[in-house]
Amino acid sequence: MESIKAAELLAALAQPHRLEIYRYLVQAGEAGLAVGQISEHFNLSGATLSFHLKNLKQAQLINCLRQGRSLIYSANYPVMNSLLDYLTDNCCGGKTCPISLDSSINKEQHMTEGLYNILFLCTGNSARSIMAESLMRRWGRGRFNAHSAGSHPAGEVNPRAIELLKRFNFSTEGLRSKSWEEFAQPDSPHLDFVVTVCDNAAGEVCPVWPGQPLTSHWGAPDPAAARGTEVEKMMAFREAFRILDTRIKIFTALRIDGLERLRLKEKMDSIGKTMPTADEKDEKDE
């Protein structure tokens, strides 16, 4: 990156509202946010918000995609990475550096009996996030403490999710539908990762977690919304299970401690687009 381009990016961020909007989009992940969600969060007028988003887009700090009648804005992570690389290039001339350029997960912050804390988040916390919690308990055993919650919890776990987990011999002990507010208390576990599993393609609005955990979006169709016969409804649950099972297995295979934070973010977002192979589907159908 050239100095002129770096100065342009920094100038675009040199305004309090614009900087906070950008940080909010960075936290939201690759799925991005609709204009209405951004406006509601910051309580800005349409004209003011449009002005700031236009400036960020012109600087190439954010992307804009139209989905139906909505405009979805998301952070341009490659540009952000390039700016960070420019600012830290050859820091201290290769000598011992007084600052830490390793932005991987802070080990002292996340360690709870040697485990990472991960929260699977959706709206109702009755099916997908519940299955993800149970899956992570098995595949992340010894490395992850798995949790799940909802922004508007249904209050009970979908019985089909419980039936499916038991069918594949996954633990259902302690699974319950609960509010994400339980994880926003002073004595709540420190969260290292927050993964949303809502289906943006179906118009679901995923909750956005505030704070500093590494966030990613692993959207999957809502099986509870499936219509048809009992067999067809159960097939929808099996498909959601397969998708989450595939992604969680890939994630738990990563050497997290060896990855710089932004690189880990990129890998998590890539995992969120991964779908089961035909072989994986056949294996679960046996």
Name the residues annotated as catalytic: 122, 198, 206
- 32/193 Cα distance (integer angstroms): 17
Q: How far apart are CA 36 and CA 70, in angstroms?
A: 9
Nearest one of 250, 183, 254 to 218, comparing CA atoms: 250
Task: Count CB neighbours of 240 within 10 A.
Answer: 24
Residue keyed to tokens 């966030």: 215
- Quick one: DSSP state of residue 176? -
Interatomic CA distance for residues 211 and 273, integer angstroms: 24
Report CA-CA distances (Å) from 106 to 56, 103, 191: 30, 8, 11
Handedness of CA 19, 22, 28, 33 (dihedral sign): positive
